[in-house]
Structure 1
Amino acid sequence: MTVNKDLRIKKTQRSLQEALLALINEKGFDAISVKDLTEQAEINRATFYRHYLDKYDLLDKNIDNMLLDLGNTVIPKNMNEIIGKDGEPSPMYVKLFEFIFENASFFRTMMSKNGISSFQYRLIVIMKDYISMAIDEFQQQQNSMHTQKEIVINYITYAIIGLINYWLESDMKYSPQHMAKQLSDIAFSGPLSTLGITKKDNR
């Protein structure tokens, strides 16, 4: 009985998430009503209010759950998950792009022109926190860094967000593994080096 109830709850929540994404794409979040959501999801208002207070609660809980799942999936547990083997993409980046791929409709909608502006901000904040924790854990001697920590954190964060946006906007024409390899090469070798440009070329 409990299993069936849990399945019904998950089905209802999934239907409402799909309805939310479809309606955001269609007319933007501000124009959506609870009536729109229940009609799109084919449920009644009483069912909606058993799960959520209003449309804002629905949005916030969906964002919270997605970002929590992202962190649990991607955050590295050891140095090998960051660096990986020679010639192979960082396992952390592979997990990141695979997660985006598996939840493409959510990320594409949230980061689109009709999307939720606060979502990308929250994604940036969370990524900065994860990157900062990784640096603190694996860079034991902070004074050995050649660049200020906050500059490195911002550079990596906005590079990742930029690539995610580009990938979604290009309809994910490259595989998650390909994107992870490109990001790994840029992150560990530097953007100019990946283009074959060195300082001596400018002398």
Structure 2
Amino acid sequence: MILLESSNRQIRKKQLTIESLKNAFINLILENNSVELITIGEITNRADFNRGTFYIHYKDKIDLLEALYQDAIEGLHQALMLPYKGIDKVILNGVVPSTTLIFEHIEKNKKLFKALDLIRKNPDLYNRLEQMFWNLFTTEIQFERESESEFETEYEIFLSYQIHATLGVLKFWIKKDFNYSSKFMSEQLTSFYSEKVIAMHYKEHTF
């Protein structure tokens, strides 16, 4: 019993240390608008640890950055998959639970996503999200379609459209500094999927 309690304390201490290092790095990225000039010394000073503690958990700054990407991407993956556990099909009628959970996860981790949005690294946040969505909807989830169009749509083209539309909305929200609630954004994304464009009008410009 004593050994178990001691082990649990060590696990909690490790988790708190990792969380502190991540939060310190996120705040420094937001302050510097990049990662290039941030040093490990600055990260450890901000987290109130020494460099030795950093190297227990991460090889270098890039290793810590990859951990941030993993938190963001894996969190979204879990949000998407959660409503499908134990069932074969989710009917897409109104705002589906996975859409709500995506936006709630981003809203809960605003600073993380804002920091990753600032990083010009290949693959960047949106490349990684695209790959995650593509893998998810080709190996774990498949859309069931009912088309009223006279044209037959190829699934991969349809999927590419859906993924990039979703990414565009997420990117807009992050770059606009989350100026709308997660609930509103969920409703907006849902309405875009069901809204049909019937015409385009030329907007006359005056010079």
TM range (shorter): 0.7 to 0.9
Q: Which runs of 5+ in 1 are unaligned?
A: 140-144
Aligned residue runs from structure 1 range 1-203, under 5 A:
1-27=6-32, 28-75=34-81, 76-77=83-84, 78-80=88-90, 83-84=92-93, 88-112=94-118, 114=119, 116-118=121-123, 119-133=125-139, 134-135=141-142, 138=144, 146-187=152-193, 189-192=194-197, 197=198
Contact map agreement 2:130 2:167 (CA 8 A) in 1: yes
Gaps of 5+ in 2: 1-5, 146-150, 202-207
Q: How many residues align?
A: 186
RMSD, matched Cα: 2.6
Q: Distance in 2 between matches of 1:104 and 1:117?
A: 21
TM-score w.r.t. length of structure 1: 0.80
User: What's the TM-score, normalizing by structure 2?
Assistant: 0.79
Distance 1:173 1:79 in 2: 33
1:8–1:115 Cα change, 3 Å: farther
In the TM superposition, what is the alpha-carbon distance from 1:97 to its structure 2 partner?
0.6
| Aligned residue in 1 for 2:148 | none
Cα separation, 1, equivalents of 2:79 and 2:188: 20
Stretches of 4+ moved more than 3 A in 1? 114-117
- State, as a whole percentage, how many aligned pairs show the same letter: 26
